[in-house]
Amino acid sequence: MTDEIRYELDGHVARVTIDRPHVLNALDEPAQERMNALFDEIERDPRVRVVVLTGAGEKAFCVGADMSTAGVDKTGVDYWADAQPNGFGGLALRETLDVPVIARVNGYALGGGMEMVLGCDIIVASETAQFGLTEPRVGRIALDGGVVRLPRQIPYHLAMGMLLTGRRMKAPQAEAVGLVNEVVPAERLDEAVDGWIADILACAPLSLRAVKHLVQNTTHMTPRQAQGQRSAALVRALRSKDSEEGVRAFQEKRPPAWKGE
């Protein structure tokens, strides 16, 4: 399983790669469990400042659950009753991961694969990528994050058009409606992702943790209510040594040296 769900930590950049190209990176039950445990581990690791999630190969990011190994009870109502609270892949509904997550979408992001994309913060896609919540076409429902997240991220009628037909959306259209941050030719995908990583690492890590924590925990509030929140993450960022370092570096006309403290 370690070989099928690969994890690398390079400095402050965590990379999670679904390496099951023989099934277009679909996740079976052990792979789902590994993904969930891995994101739990990432949450606990203070070294991580940004996560990149992708699929191996050039055809698919992830096409959802591996139905070739799942029985009816694992894809129907029994699966829903036992579904992970963090959603598909341990990410689609996760609300406690406070570092930025970039989806590197190199191909098909369908079903649970798209649900994971919806759980990411920044989405960079190849021109050949396609997105879709295709569960109704096999008698299922996108209950691991898709139904509840998609209408909150794109206009209602576009979301319902996808949810009620299983239609796919190509990458250029996804970028046009704001679902995707950037679309590039396949050969430039890593370059584009690296650009986003560089910009994230240029920011104070505690500031980014506080921003993401605030966004994740106040979307149900009015702007005035949200503005009044004083979370521990926010206070820690504002009182941090990095906060002082940022101002000092600006005054001294040099890049800041973030310590995460």
Tens of pLDDT, residue by residue over 104-121, are: 999 999 999 999 999 999
Q: What is the pLDDT of residue 85?
A: 87
**Domain membership flag for residue 244:** yes
Q: Are both 141 and 239 inside the same structural domain?
A: no
Q: Are both 225 and 192 inside the same structural domain?
A: no
**Domain membership flag for residue 29:** yes
Separation CA 64–CA 221 (nearest Å) = 32
CB atoms within 10 A of CB 119: 26
Q: Are both 126 and 46 inside the same structural domain?
A: yes
Which pLDDT band, with edges at 50, 70 and 90, does 71 fall under?
Answer: low
- Supply 56's token pair: 């191996």
The angle subtended at Cα 193 by Cα 184 and Cα 19, nearest 5°, is 95
Q: Are both 46 and 173 inside the same structural domain?
A: yes
Q: Are both 193 and 232 inside the same structural domain?
A: no
Structural domain that includes position 215: 204-251
Show which residues are catalytic. Answer: 115, 135
Q: Are both 143 and 212 inside the same structural domain?
A: no
Out of 34-48, 97-111, 178-192, 219-233, pick the least confident. 219-233
**Full-prediction pTM beyond 0.85?**
yes
Q: Into how many domains does the chain fold?
A: 2
